[in-house]
Amino acid sequence: MNPMNKSEMRAVRIHDYGGPEQMKLERIAIPEPAANEVLIKVRAAGVNPIDWKTREGYLAEIIPHALPLTLGWDLVGEVTGVGKQIEKWQYGDEVFACQDLTKNGSYAEYITVSGDLLSAKPKTLSWQEAAAVPLVTLTAWQALNDMAQIKKGDRVLIHAGAGGVGIAAIQLAKRVGATVYTTASSRNIDFLKELGADEVIDYTKYDFSELENLDIIIDTMGGEVLEKSWATLKKGGRLVSIAEIPNKALSDKYEINASFCFIQPNSEQLSMIANLIDSGTLSVEVDSVFSLDEIDKAHEKSESGHTRGKIVIKVQEDK
């Protein structure tokens, strides 16, 4: 195999939708930043369910993608080039972001990102920890603050508390003074209580649907879990699902304000999140780390649904 020249990079791409076998680690040209873009040397990338759902083609009608496509939308790295309209960022800046979901992603050694999507990397985190932050924490932030309009004293149920979104949502909800209930397996009970959860319901032994008069539910599961959630809310309560669009007939029946949260990249919110991390208010949990050539194993683990925190791809070696 010929050595890679300086204008090439490694990237994991799909040329067709389907299973893990569609992901190919290829050598392609390093992209050139447009006038409003920044070129970033990717140190680490996060793995999220949207990655393999995109790979399978489940989101093809929602998010228009041109194939071949580089997957992955969480990234952290260093600025190595800037477009002519960029003033805020310069060579060597350490940044992180949730990439525009319609663009090529971060399973690559370099990526171009719109300058207005970038935030300064949290100083207290490693590259791999920082890669675990953007998409899930922005999702939790937007679900709780923008949609559910959480406030002090609210009783909140967060499904699957040990997942990436759940871990962030528990901490953000506690920060505003809510009472937090969450579901998890028995192995994660102590961990989630340490994060601040007031009550952890072991779903292998107990049924969360016995709760009542909740103010807010953050649904990360959909399906049967969502169906059983409606009756636990008080009239006028708020249900936000990140898994599926809630049923309007059930929303009307139970007199619930229900909405679907689909992540919107937001550098201003991400900067606030970085400040919370650096001040010690928000902690990050990395489940496991894989290399680019282990991407199939990373997807397999994500699809299993049994992770504590985030799966991360180590893209380039630490300095």
Q: Are 183 and 297 in contact (CB under 8 A)?
A: no
Q: What is the pLDDT of the chain when averaged over all its residues?
A: 96
User: What residues pair up with 179 in beta bridges, in sequence order?
Assistant: 155
Q: What is the pLDDT of residue 5?
A: 57
pLDDT in tens, 64-114: 899 999 999 999 999 999 999 999 999 999 999 999 999 999 999 999 999
pLDDT in tens, 34-69: 999 999 999 999 999 999 999 999 999 999 899 999
Question: 8-133+284-314 is classed in which CATH architecture?
Answer: Alpha-Beta Complex (3.90)
Q: What's the Cα-to-Cα distance from 21 to each of 16, 39, 93, 314, rounded to whole Å? A: 10, 29, 35, 20
CATH classification code of 136-260: 3.40.50.720
Tracing tokens 């992901």 back to the chain, one arrives at 23
User: What residues pair up with 17 in beta bridges, in sequence order?
Assistant: none
Q: What's the Cα-to-Cα distance from 305 to each of 2, 79, 184, 186, 309, rounded to whole Å? A: 39, 33, 12, 15, 11
Parse the chain into domains and list their residue ranges.
Answer: 8-133+284-314, 136-260
Q: What percent of the chain has pLDDT over 70?
A: 98
Q: Are 277 and 284 in contact (CB under 8 A)?
A: yes
Q: Report residue 2's pLDDT band, with 50, 70 and 90 as the boundaries.
A: very low
pLDDT in tens, 229-258: 999 999 999 999 999 999 999 999 999 999
In whole angstroms, what is the distance from residue 238 CA to residue 230 CA?
A: 10
